Amino acid sequence: MLAIKSVEPYTMAMAEEQRQGEEFRNDRRGQGGRAGLPAALVKELSQQDDTKAWISVISLVAVVAACVAAALYWWTPWVIVPAIVIIASRQQACFVLAHDAAHYRLFKNRALNDVVGRALAAPVGISMRTYRVVHRLHHNHLYERQDPDIPLHGGYPRGRRYLLRKLLFDLTGRTAPKTFAYFMGAPAINDEAPNTTEPLHDTAPVLRKAARQDRWFVVGLQVCALALAIATGYGVAYFLLWILPLCTVLQALLRFRAICEHGAVQDEHSPLLAARTNLGPGWLLWFLFPYQVNYHIEHHLYPAIPHYNLPVCHREMQQRGLLNNAEVRHIFATARLVSADPIAAIS
């Protein structure tokens, strides 16, 4: 087990760091009397390492640049098609690192955290600061009425045909408008909600204001990127190598990952059973679950732990028996579960 340094309790430190209405709460529902990891260990695992964060960001950009360069150099379907698939996986990686930034866990300095998070999010058409508001609802109200993600992953398993039909529909590009509407705040950004029980009731006004401003930044960047690509003669390449994967392959990846993380769960009232940690070969996790996002139970229990420390968190929880009977599966077993016939899954 990891040696625990003498540190102040994690919960007190985080209470000071995150103000009311901005916090992502640790999900302690349905723990069955289990105490969880020691607070000192959680605080140690929550320490941020900017070097590791930069490695993640640079590796992402490097893969995208290599794919684009290879496609432009050879410009043949034998290179363009694989490049589209790999670029889509790295576009999902942009979502994942922007997700870390939304949690304030990408860089120690909040200003740098938000600058890099927005820079990763805007090219893939999402507002990081808006996603911070939406995702906060998902974490603080998992599988409750306010959870905005239920329409995506709820109700599974629905059968193999249903899942394949949804994924094929995603590949046509027709899901993209809904996806971008979600990441731009619909329907969670309802500032004029008259009912105090509406989702944003406990969200700090400063977050909502930042989200509104950030959406204009995203729109402006998208317009400028398209204009620049056309003006420099790279309009076709920009469409094939960025817009096409963004609107097709990425949509299927996002849906499948969300279903693997929260679909066909055993108990909606416990993060140990309402979220799922998926294990498997490194190459497949790199493609489907970039930057350790496969450790999803651990993330819901301890959202302040940055992505590069989640494997250690998983190991510590395993050694202490905290993941006994939890939703920890091999990705192939998860795929069979979420695509099963509903009757077969129940039996």
Give the pLDDT of residue 277. 97
- Is 250 part of a structural domain of the chain? yes
Give the pLDDT of residue 256. 96
- Is 31 part of a structural domain of the chain? no
Give the pLDDT of residue 20. 56
- Is 206 part of a structural domain of the chain? yes
Give the pLDDT of residue 203. 66
- Is 17 part of a structural domain of the chain? no
- Is 23 part of a structural domain of the chain? no
Domain with 124, as residue range(s), is 36-191+199-346
Give the pLDDT of residue 246. 97
- Is 13 part of a structural domain of the chain? no
Looking up tokens 């993209």 gives 176
- Is 291 part of a structural domain of the chain? yes
Residues 46 and 10 sit within 8 Å (Cβ to Cβ): yes
Low-confidence ranges of the chain (pLDDT < 50): 3-17, 189-197, 199, 346-347
Give the pLDDT of residue 27. 57
- Is 314 part of a structural domain of the chain? yes
Give the pLDDT of residue 35. 66
Give the pLDDT of residue 106. 96
Give the pLDDT of residue 252. 97
Give the pLDDT of residue 28. 59
Number of folded domains in the chain?
1
